[in-house]
Structure 1
Amino acid sequence: MRFLLVLLAALLVTPVAAQDQLPPAPYAYRQLDDPAQEAAARELMETLRCLKCQSQSIADSDAPMAGDMRHQVRSRIEAGEEPEAIRAWLVERYGDYVSYEPVMSATTWPLFALPLIVLLLAVAILWRRMSRKPAKRDAA
């Protein structure tokens, strides 16, 4: 029974381990020949988040997934696609989180409104405390 569990675990882990051992996509680490296209690709890559590292742009990350995303950006720019169309495709594929440029939508508007509400509430509390008249003390 123990042998079967170990075998099952090994079979489930193998595809995950193999994914990181694949060779990188052609444009993951190679720049485009046209400097203008490479500049456009680089500018776009700086505004896209690596989904594996989550704190780096795909331009700075060494994660295999970031390399694949860099390849997608460069190959699409080389094919003549506009950077905003590529961003829209990546956001559609991976969600809003992939972009460092937040978009206000039906699901994200509370994130934009909450800081303003908290600020207004703090100002109202401070104004109310400051406008109170001090209590008079009786002379004894």
Structure 2
Amino acid sequence: MLRRCLGQIALVLGLLLTVLPAAAFNPDEVLSDPALEARARALTVQLRCMVCQNQSIDDSNAELARDLRVLVRERLTQGDSDEAVIDYVVSRYGEFVLLKPRFSMRTLALWGAPVALILIGAAAVFVFARRRVALPEGKALTPDEEARIRDLLEKP
């Protein structure tokens, strides 16, 4: 009984949480042409809200996000290509506005750092493992040394 009740509560909460991103989108922003609207939605998912920073402008309720959604739709209705719209927004707000940065010389460190760190870590593990194997073992104790240690341990 309790399990069923908890399951129903989880279902209701899950449904409520799936509606939240839709609440960020205003009906007056929707374009009448379904093809243009689909392109606009695809573009707004790629752009970062400068206020929320870890949300796309498609999911954000911030006023700036709304302005950017409207700007994207205006550019599309003027006949701009998807790439031209992205370039226009990036020219105004910088590369940071892209949720997935482009690969360029400026972002080389961003894209290359994880690979470089993994390679450095693998090399360090390899070097330390080889050193550990190469450590010389100590000499065995002589019978006199063993007897002396036994005597020391047996004394109270």
TM category (shorter chain) comes to: 0.7 to 0.9
For this pair of structures, how many residues does the alignment match?
Answer: 114
Indicate yes or no: 2:102 matched with 1:103: yes
**How far off is 1:100 after superposition?**
1.3
- Counterparts of 1:75-90 in structure 2, within 5 Å, are 75-90=74-89
Paired amino acid for 2:110:
L
**2:57 aligned counterpart, secondary structure:** coil
Matched with 1:93 is 92
Match of 2:44 in 1: 45
Secondary structure, aligned partner of 1:49: coil
Q: Which one has the bigger helix percentage?
A: 2
Q: CA deviation at 1:108?
A: 2.0
TM-score normalised per structure 1: 0.75
Give the alignment's Cα RMSD to 1 decimal.
1.7
Deviation at 1:30, TM superposition (A): 2.3
Contact 1:91 1:98 in 2 (8 A): yes
Q: Per chain length, whose mean CA-contact separation is higher, i.e. which structure has more relative contact order (CA < 8 Å, sep 6+)?
A: 1
1:138 is matched with 139
Counterpart amino acid of residue 93 in structure 1: R
Partners in 2 of 1:102 and 1:28 — Cα distance?
A: 29
Report the counterpart of residue 65 of structure 1 in structure 2. Answer: 64
Q: Which runs of 4+ in 1 moved over 3 A?
A: none
Moved more, 30-39 or 72-81: 72-81
- C-alpha contact (below 8 Å) 1:28/1:68 kept by paired residues: no
Distance 1:113 1:107 in 2: 11
Q: Would the alpha carbon gap of residues 123 and 130 (structure 1) be closer, same or farther in structure 2, given more than 3 Å must change?
A: same
Q: Percent identity?
A: 38
Q: Cα offset for 1:107?
A: 2.5
In the alignment, residue 137 of structure 1 is paired with which amino acid? G
Structure 1: runs of 5+ lacking an equivalent:
1-26
- Separation in 1, partners of 2:28, 2:52: 17
